[in-house]
Chains A and B, each alone.
Chain A
Amino acid sequence: MAGSILGNRVLRKEDPKFLTTGGVYVDDLNSEPLLVGALHATFVRSTVAHANITSIDVSDALESPGVVAIYTAADLGLEPVAATFNPMAKRTLLASGKVRYVGEPIAVVLTEFANQGEDAAEKVIVDYDTLEVLIDIEQAMTSTTHIFEECGSNVVFDSTAIGMPDNTGDEMFADCEVVVKGRFVNQRVAPCPLEVRASAAAWDNDGRLTQWMSTQHAQGARDTIQTANGLDAEKIRVITPDVGGGFGAKIAAYPEELVLGAVAKKAGKPVRWLETRSESMTALGHGRAQIQYVTIGGTKAGKVTAYQMHVLQDSGAWVDIGAILAPFMTRPMASGVYDIPKIEVRTTSVATNTTPVVAYRGAGRPEATAAIERAMDMFAAEIGKDAAEVRRVNLIPKFLEPHSTTIGQTYDVGDYEESLNRVLAAADYTKLRAEQAARRASGSVKQLGIGVSVYVEITAGNSSGESAKIEITQDGRAVVFTGTSPHGQGHVTSWAMIASDQTGIPMDKIDVVWGDTDLVPKGGGTMGSRSLQQGGVAVHVAAGELVEQARKHAARLLEANEEDVVFDKESASFHVTGTPAVAKSWADLSIALASDGGLIQETDYVSQGATFPFGAHVSVVEVDTETGQVKMLRHVACDDAGKVLNPLLLEGQIHGGIAQGAAQALLEEVRYDGDGNPITSNFADYAFISAAELPSFEVIHMETPTPRNALGAKGIGESGTIGSTPAVQSAVIDALAHLGVRHIDMPTTAERVWSEIQKQKVKGN
């Protein structure tokens, strides 16, 4: 594509706003007419992890300054609703009868000013009859206390219950020369979007609800809010202003958002809600939270022949999407980039008295990758071979036609060995190993660790396509309507690049509209690394069709045959072959069509299936063997997301992904005390990573286009997280391999590392 803008490092169109006046988030909607006189909602939340509610006394709280009303589930007439992924589990949007985790909303306080709510909420007295608290997944599996009694078990979802085969046990490894077992904790983490949740709800005189929300998917939220409020489809509008991050946790609407319409209706006034960080840390969904029992077997020469895993997925105190990521995301990706003849995976999702688990950047695939990569390292250590070389002999060879794995997942294209080769070369792996050997020989306090991971993941696996609409205004601008929903990714830039590439309209004359269900009724939102390969491709297709539609109109206006009309992208105008002086611009066409509904092209793009980005990461850490402290020295990443639209945006996604992945490996963990009280509910206690803990990342590009869409693009939103976590974790363990250390669970905190070194000393290593 000579002269195309695609593939260039185009600066973000949205940045001048974010860097100067700043974004407009839900809480910034100060001049919205529908929200004039809005009351402020503050939720009264459970302070205990598991209990029957015996009474709720709001009388003192009603006297608190500024309080207008306080509603419980009973006041709002809330009926129990079933969990999507296990309809036997039920709850009311505001807890009634029972609370199941600290932070669960019980009542809502409405005040005149925002700062009055917390004082009043403190005065609502909830009496509890406490029940056995189940925080540990394995304890919950065997306990006779059931968090959802109607389920008859704390196991709320099991892969075998939906017909997936059970694991056969150790007999699968009977013919293996080497068998290694491991128990890995893929710990619970908090997504921590910098903008916490916020929403506002207002009813107009026609009984129509408008709700503003910080969400990744306005159309999905509209549908669930419509159901929650029992509305006809035309009686609901959801609007997404700027959104300050989501990471998967803002895909679905939460109880606070689903109940806000009913609250506003009962109060007879619009209502606004903004949670605090401490609330967000306990009531926004969490991610990961798996225990993985893994067995890997093969030959002494290094060929892996069998792999078996039982995943125990912590579902938290609801059956949200987190309960089904294990069977539908972790399981199919369990063997990753490796050609393993025998593989079995069972997943068991378990309710606990903790914050419900949802999707979080990678959503099931980082867990799969972490398990197989740890297993591969332990297998390599057992046979005394280099971790990178054992990987190499087990990789699926390069394929440009679809490849199906033993477990039944079909990948689009892959060249895993090339990504491994590139990353090892860029990291200078041989030299790193030599330096490691020298440090070991010298007995240095600061030991070097080198971690390698090779991964493949699945993107856009959960959706079948996306719609796009392009409208040409009478001044020749293009407005792109998209069903995706950017919250940091840069779609305004990307979609403008794609539309400009086809239409010749300069990027500064292209606007992008999303997240308002009146303006964009159809859309799949932004999640699962789907946006470019579905929403972007939809814009690409729509722009191509728009040019063809315009050519017809131009032919009519120029009184020529359509096939004689040339589209000149340089001048963004149409003319008859040989007479460029007489041309019709986009503005001309739009004006000419004004009475016929304007110049608009709408496209429903149907996807040809998921794509499978892959890559390899090398992480280098230094471990202080006296204190256990880990310092990340380097991180080299080779990620192949297919054809690259804008390397600047790609690198941004990779950088952020590596940071979040490294954070899980090194620092982050949501923790509870024995009574189920969260003890990491602010950024002082929860070790949200910062730039100071990270090196500059080294990013190596590799492009293997997918045949599954016209742009050749795969997703890149989550790859960085998937590749980096096991590389960083393995690097920490590798630094101590010579002491006999084979595994340390994440996060590899200094004390955990130090304790492991002490254990080896006791063993005499």
Chain B
Amino acid sequence: MIPAQFDLKRASSAAEAISLIGEYGDEAKLLAGGHSLIPLMKLRLAQPSMLIDIGRITDLSYIKDAGNHISIGALTRHMDVEKSDIVKQHVPLLAHAASHVGDAQVRHRGTIGGSLAHADSASDLPATTLALGATYVVQGPNGQREIAAKDFYKGFLESALAPDEMLVEIRVPKTLGGWSFQKFNRRAQDWAIVGVAAWRNGKDSGVALVNMGSTPILATSVSAALASGASIAEAAELAAAEAEPQSDLNASSEYRTHLAKVLVRRALEESTK
């Protein structure tokens, strides 16, 4: 299909982009890699009349070792996250999850910030950064603030971003111990029917679910059970405790719940090796 008509302005800095979204308000959407927004526009599910292209703001594409965490610029492309030695060394779960986003073309264009800000619970990276306890840095007209990933996702395609804010950096704590990413889908390039991002280090763990509700789901019951000495099998039974899975074309909610339990168990087994 063909998108509805829109205008486009190109921002050369984060400040300019923020000023433009302030100016155009609800009519405007930020365009980064375009791999979430453009498909919605083609289906006419999104009809912004103004696109603010932030794809050429080069100083928001970086990956830095910042001591106890790594910092990733919001406009860093999935392929750069996937291939980064820093990410592979300190947050291998994130590098691996990035390699499962869409297909090679998508990963060369799509950006980590775009994927997170789009807040699609079916995408791989919101749940992955949630499991990892990431913090998102957002910038508005009055400067920057930090939002924990667990506080960021508010509903279907809804986030804690104010209309005049943009995501500029993702800070991911360095993880120790084992990890696993389980993506269950029909075809390699598809969104997950259910996905699980998990890491485990002794009694500490982080487990988050892809496509198990209107937001990415942090499976806190699973981590709590593990912390109090439950077996992996016992903990995995709690996989869907926080979830509200939908029935859709690809799976019933019952099947999704079953998959979540199996995949969380497998993810924890892999993380514990």
A interface residues with partner B (beta carbon < 8 Å): 65, 114-115, 117-119, 122, 276-278, 626-627, 629, 667, 671, 679-680, 682, 684-685, 687, 689-690, 692-693, 749-751, 754-755
Further pairs besides A118-B2, A690-B189: 4, Cβ < 8 Å: A627-B259, A680-B249, A687-B190, A755-B255
What CA separation (Å) do A626 and B262 show in the bound complex?
7
Q: Which residues of B contact A754 (CB under 8 A)?
A: 255, 258
Instruction: Find the residue from A680, A750, A755 having the highest chain B CB count within 10 A.
Output: A750
Q: Separation in Å of the B107 CB from the closest CB of chain A? A: 14
Contact call A690/B187, Cβ cutoff below 8 A? yes
Contact call A119/B262, Cβ cutoff below 8 A? no
Output the nearest chain B residue to A667 by Cβ-Cβ distance: B186
What CA separation (Å) do A751 and B186 show in the bound complex?
10
What CA separation (Å) do A122 and B2 show in the bound complex?
11
- Select which of B186, B189, B249, B252 is within 8 A of A679 by beta carbon: B249
Whether A629 touches B184, Cβ cut-off 8 Å, given contacts A276-B2, A682-B43, is yes
Q: Separation in Å of the B181 CB from the closest CB of chain A? A: 16
What CA separation (Å) do A685 and B185 show in the bound complex?
12
- Select which of A122, A629, A685 is within 8 A of B249 by beta carbon: A685
Whether A276 touches B255, Cβ cut-off 8 Å, given contacts A685-B249, A692-B189, A693-B187, is no
Q: Separation in Å of the A221 CB from the closest CB of chain B? A: 26
Residues in B186-201 with C-beta less than 8 Å from chain A:
186-191, 193
Chain B contact-residue range equals: 20 to 34
What CA separation (Å) do A671 and B248 show in the bound complex?
12
Q: Which residues of A contact B142 (CB under 8 A)?
A: none
Does B25 reach chain A (CB closer than 8 Å)? Answer: no
Whether A687 touches B187, Cβ cut-off 8 Å, given contacts A627-B262, A679-B249, is yes
Does B230 reach chain A (CB closer than 8 Å)? Answer: no
Contact call B187/A667, Cβ cutoff below 8 A? yes
Give 25 CB contacts A-B under 8 Å.
Answer: A65-B5, A114-B2, A117-B2, A118-B1, A118-B2, A119-B4, A276-B2, A278-B1, A278-B43, A627-B259, A627-B262, A667-B186, A671-B249, A679-B249, A682-B43, A684-B191, A690-B188, A690-B189, A693-B188, A749-B186, A750-B186, A751-B251, A754-B255, A754-B258, A755-B255
Contact call A692/B187, Cβ cutoff below 8 A? yes
What CA separation (Å) do A627 and B250 show in the bound complex?
14
Q: Separation in Å of the A748 CB from the closest CB of chain B? A: 11
Does B39 reach chain A (CB closer than 8 Å)? Answer: yes
Q: Which residues of B contact A671 (CB under 8 A)?
A: 249
Q: Which residues of A contact B258 (CB under 8 A)?
A: 754
What CA separation (Å) do A119 and B6 show in the bound complex?
12
Instruction: Find the residue from B186, B251, B262 having the highest chain A CB count within 10 A.
Output: B186
Q: Separation in Å of the A170 CB from the closest CB of chain B? A: 37
What CA separation (Å) do A621 and B39 show in the bound complex?
34
Q: Which residues of A contact B187 (CB under 8 A)?
A: 667, 687, 689-690, 692-693
Please encode chain B, from 50 to 77, with 1 for each CB lying within 8 Å of some chain A CB and 0 for all others. Answer: 0000000000000000000000000000
Contact call A115/B189, Cβ cutoff below 8 A? no
B interface residues with partner A (beta carbon < 8 Å): 1-2, 4-5, 39, 43-44, 184, 186-191, 193, 249-252, 255, 258-259, 262-263
Q: Which residues of B contact A278 (CB under 8 A)?
A: 1, 43
Q: Which residues of A contact B184 (CB under 8 A)?
A: 627, 629, 750
Contact call A692/B188, Cβ cutoff below 8 A? yes
What CA separation (Å) do A750 and B188 show in the bound complex?
14
Contact call B1/A276, Cβ cutoff below 8 A? yes
What CA separation (Å) do A277 and B43 show in the bound complex?
11
Q: Separation in Å of the B28 CB from the closest CB of chain A? A: 19
Contact call B186/A687, Cβ cutoff below 8 A? yes
Q: Which residues of B contact A276 (CB under 8 A)?
A: 1-2
Q: Separation in Å of the B39 CB from the closest CB of chain A? A: 7
Q: Separation in Å of the B208 CB from the closest CB of chain A? A: 19
Contact call A751/B252, Cβ cutoff below 8 A? yes
What CA separation (Å) do A629 and B262 show in the bound complex?
12
What CA separation (Å) do A73 and B161 show in the bound complex?
50
What CA separation (Å) do A754 and B194 show in the bound complex?
15
Q: Which residues of A contact B5 (CB under 8 A)?
A: 65, 119
Output the nearest chain A residue to B193 by Cβ-Cβ distance: A750
Instruction: Find the residue from B189, B191, B255, B262 having the highest chain A CB count within 10 A.
Output: B255
Output the nearest chain B residue to A629 by Cβ-Cβ distance: B184
Q: Which residues of A contact B4 (CB under 8 A)?
A: 119
What CA separation (Å) do A679 and B259 show in the bound complex?
23
What CA separation (Å) do A115 and B258 show in the bound complex?
45
Q: Which residues of A contact B251 (CB under 8 A)?
A: 751
Q: Separation in Å of the B184 CB from the closest CB of chain A? A: 7
Instruction: Find the residue from A65, A118, A278, A689 having the highest chain B CB count within 10 A.
Output: A118
Q: Separation in Å of the B51 CB from the closest CB of chain A? A: 15
Q: Which residues of B contact A122 (CB under 8 A)?
A: 44
Q: Which residues of A contact B250 (CB under 8 A)?
A: 751
What CA separation (Å) do A276 and B1 show in the bound complex?
5
Q: Separation in Å of the A331 CB from the closest CB of chain B? A: 34
Q: Separation in Å of the A346 CB from the closest CB of chain B? A: 34
Q: Separation in Å of the B138 CB from the closest CB of chain A? A: 29
Q: Separation in Å of the A308 CB from the closest CB of chain B? A: 35
Q: Which residues of B contact A114 (CB under 8 A)?
A: 2
Q: Separation in Å of the B106 CB from the closest CB of chain A? A: 12
Output the nearest chain B residue to A277 by Cβ-Cβ distance: B1
Q: Which residues of A contact B259 (CB under 8 A)?
A: 627
Q: Separation in Å of the A40 CB from the closest CB of chain B? A: 11
Output the nearest chain A residue to B5 by Cβ-Cβ distance: A119
Q: Which residues of B contact A685 (CB under 8 A)?
A: 249
What CA separation (Å) do A692 and B125 show in the bound complex?
22
Q: Which residues of A contact B189 (CB under 8 A)?
A: 690, 692
What CA separation (Å) do A687 and B250 show in the bound complex?
10
Q: Separation in Å of the B7 CB from the closest CB of chain A? A: 14
Q: Separation in Å of the B250 CB from the closest CB of chain A? A: 8
What CA separation (Å) do A750 and B255 show in the bound complex?
10
Q: Separation in Å of the A672 CB from the closest CB of chain B? A: 11
Q: Which residues of B contact A679 (CB under 8 A)?
A: 249
What CA separation (Å) do A629 and B193 show in the bound complex?
12
Q: Which residues of A contact B39 (CB under 8 A)?
A: 684
Q: Which residues of B contact A755 (CB under 8 A)?
A: 255
Which 9 pairs across A and B sit closest by C-beta, in order of nearness?
A692-B188, A118-B2, A751-B255, A626-B262, A276-B1, A278-B1, A687-B186, A115-B2, A751-B251
Q: Separation in Å of the B56 CB from the closest CB of chain A? A: 24
What CA separation (Å) do A119 and B1 show in the bound complex?
11
Q: Separation in Å of the B128 CB from the closest CB of chain A? A: 21
Q: Separation in Å of the A659 CB from the closest CB of chain B? A: 12
Q: Which residues of B contact A750 (CB under 8 A)?
A: 184, 186, 193
Q: Which residues of B contact A65 (CB under 8 A)?
A: 5
Q: Which residues of A contact B186 (CB under 8 A)?
A: 667, 687, 749-750
What CA separation (Å) do A682 and B258 show in the bound complex?
28
Instruction: Find the residue from A114, A277, A751 having the highest chain B CB count within 10 A.
Output: A751
What CA separation (Å) do A671 and B262 show in the bound complex?
28
What CA separation (Å) do A276 and B252 show in the bound complex?
30
What CA separation (Å) do A698 and B155 show in the bound complex?
48
Q: Which residues of A contact B43 (CB under 8 A)?
A: 278, 682
What CA separation (Å) do A751 and B187 show in the bound complex?
14
Output the nearest chain A residue to B266 by Cβ-Cβ distance: A626
What CA separation (Å) do A667 and B249 show in the bound complex?
12
Instruction: Find the residue from A65, A627, A692 having the highest chain B CB count within 10 A.
Output: A627
Output the nearest chain A residue to B261 by Cβ-Cβ distance: A626
